[in-house]
Structure 1
């Protein structure tokens, strides 16, 4: 293979392959729609006469099937061509959001209808996410993989920034129904892009013992790495309380104290801007101790909940959202780099499924309990509790030796071959 061929190959130099470009473009389109839809769905419930508890129920309805089907989705993605799994999931998301939009635009959607459509969206996400993560990691090679992940996340988060700001403004200007319709269109475009992905570079899977055996094999890979399951447990709690704050308390504080959907969309936009800044930093910075640097940067995730608890003025809220977004992106890039260098390619989607499963397992419960917790403790006390939990679990995970000691790899995993040029070989992990 010539150097020109290598640059056009799905496994060409890190960050320049055709698959990488398609995945990045599709992620940009999806995030433009989905970040606005997150705001729109909450305000659709409120405009239909719902309260904070109803907003939590709709959020929980999306997350529950995501939890239920993730492990199956990971096994399916390691068995079937990943791009086909992704396209099918995008089609389901497109359909569910289109119907949701039609109901909202027609006026007065019922709570059970919004919950059902959110559940269909969560089901699609359960199959999409493990396939997408495995596809991205298999499309990037070399010691510059961290930079490629940072550039991908910068593009994705930049789209999230625009989507959140635009979505909040559109909800305020034309209502949530049109924002949901735009999200459905975004899924259609993204699915079309992903249909052109090339999986010919991925070796055929060896015949296995069935779906259950694949799930068990993924569990062995996951549970045998303390740094992996330790951080997943940490984020199981942290994501649950953050999800409650973002999907339930944030819109309520915005409605009651900040002026409505527009300021909340602006605050989410500043978080997105922070993630772009953090990703830009990670294109240059390569921390030697990947997970130690990343975990230390998780502590500021407690700040937005604290700002909502006060509640702080919009300017202060935007500042802490920007700071937390920029620092948590250091964790995000470090985490992807660690998975890329430590997990075998043929098990990436199954390990990713366990990662996703653990990270979101408590989110339906937290979202459903957000309303009752507000009624029992008060909104401010519930938000302070969210901040405290994030600090406690982040401090606890630093007690895991592998989290403190896992290092960026120096030596290549793959020998030099015509398909993997010498300057783009994939490294192995520091824990071997």
Structure 2
């Protein structure tokens, strides 16, 4: 208990607390979106799983296309301002989607364009977030800072899964998306209040954009453990995007009870991520990337249970396991990146990380609907489980993954 209280001492830092609150509110806004968007679109006249696939793909593609540019921008400009712009762009995209659903004007190209704007916002925000954490948190508290940020984000996912599903059931997807937009606006205001000294701004702007990208690529490919795990995640994320974005909600609609059942799944996953935070705040593996990759294997469980038509309570338990595994993975991965990659290149390396990890995600979203029609929803979900397990086993063959050791920087207790 003393160790956990020592970790909470980081909250006395005003800058970290502002970042934590802003991130927590932003994730709460994002947590409303999966249920609101999925069932808002599936509830439209004539909408099918393929309609949902198109909108989600329209969000994912710009996120991938602009991710490298987001990394360069975040390494050139003050990351606080980059994050603020990203939050306001996210607000604009979700507000546009909300207005379309509320007024009943929902042409597919317009919905896709609004979703694409939120994808651009993610591409801008995520590399800046990865880079700004070491500017706010001392190096010996990085794992604690990442875990606390994860705790706030995961608590928001729990609340968002419950409140988002309830809002959709009671008021409809349009109002849930409007609530998301308001949260992104508030997060942007809080980020604007974050003050970082001018010295935190690096000199990357003196180079050309292509030069910056080449330098970031050198940092990325020089570390085997990074590019191997990114290659693993390129297939794993394709499976998760298909399973979480299309196939899971579709199966919930077909046989599990609709939005309430899928909200229960997402809530189980979110509770698992909170439990994962408690683990990640204390665990200090000597080989963090090896442990992180091993934790990807149990993440196939919810797709196996969905594909085998397990009872809802069992599926929720599988979602809980998924949440625990991916939260601990995320904290170990982020901390290793922030410790091993130079600060002036961190956002660019992070952008290559996200680009590589997400590059097949749109393919998963695009193929999920046709795969469900061709093979059946349950069979397609079992295919997602296979795509989680096989790349993970392949990643474990890498010496870089198995042998990277963590420095002994962070005390176990204060």
Taking a change above 3 Å as real, the CA distance of residues 207 and 169 of structure 1, as seen in their structure-2 partners, is closer
Deviations 1:229-288 (A, max 9, x none): 100111111011111111101111111111110110111011000001011111111111
Out of 54, 58, 61, the position equivalent to 1:61 is 58
- Within the alignment, does 1:118 sit opposite 2:148 as a pair? no
Say if 2:204 and 2:212, in contact at 8 Å, map to a contact too.
Answer: no
Distance 2:173 2:70 in 1: 30
Say if 1:208 and 1:214, in contact at 8 Å, map to a contact too.
Answer: no
Distance 2:72 2:99 in 1: 34
- Within the alignment, does 1:22 sit opposite 2:18 as a pair? yes
SS at match of 1:288: coil
- Within the alignment, does 1:45 sit opposite 2:41 as a pair? yes
Distance 2:348 2:11 in 1: 23
Say if 2:58 and 2:115, in contact at 8 Å, map to a contact too.
Answer: yes
Mind listing any 5+ residue stretches in structure 2 that lack a counterpart?
Answer: 1-8
Q: Which has the higher helix share?
A: 2
Say if 1:30 and 1:187, in contact at 8 Å, map to a contact too.
Answer: yes
Out of 107, 117, 134, the position equivalent to 1:137 is 134
- Within the alignment, does 1:189 sit opposite 2:186 as a pair? yes
Out of 98, 103, 106, the position equivalent to 1:106 is 103
Distance 1:69 1:321 in 2: 31
Distance 1:243 1:355 in 2: 17
TM-score of the two chains, using structure 2 as the length reference? 0.94
Deviations 1:119-170 (A, max 9, x none): 0110111111111111123222233321221121011111111101111121
What is the RMSD computed on CA atoms of the aligned residues?
A: 1.6
TM-score of the two chains, using structure 1 as the length reference? 0.90
Taking a change above 3 Å as real, the CA distance of residues 326 and 91 of structure 1, as seen in their structure-2 partners, is same
Distance 2:249 2:189 in 1: 33
- Within the alignment, does 1:168 sit opposite 2:195 as a pair? no
Distance 1:239 1:107 in 2: 33
Which residue of 1 is the match for residue 144 of structure 2? 147
Which residue of 2 is the match for residue 255 of structure 1? 253
Distance 2:57 2:159 in 1: 25
Deviations 1:28-60 (A, max 9, x none): 111111111121111121111311111111110
Out of 62, 69, 73, the position equivalent to 1:72 is 69
SS at match of 1:143: helix
SS at match of 1:283: helix
Which residue of 1 is the match for residue 295 of structure 2? 297
Deviations 1:61-97 (A, max 9, x none): 0000001000011001100111111111111111111
Deviations 1:329-358 (A, max 9, x none): 121111011111101111111011001101
SS at match of 1:409: coil
Which residue of 2 is the match for residue 418 of structure 1? none
Q: How many residues align?
A: 402
Taking a change above 3 Å as real, the CA distance of residues 383 and 218 of structure 1, as seen in their structure-2 partners, is same
Distance 1:226 1:154 in 2: 29
Mind listing any 5+ residue stretches in structure 1 that lack a counterpart?
Answer: 1-12, 413-422, 424-432
Which residue of 2 is the match for residue 341 of structure 1? 339
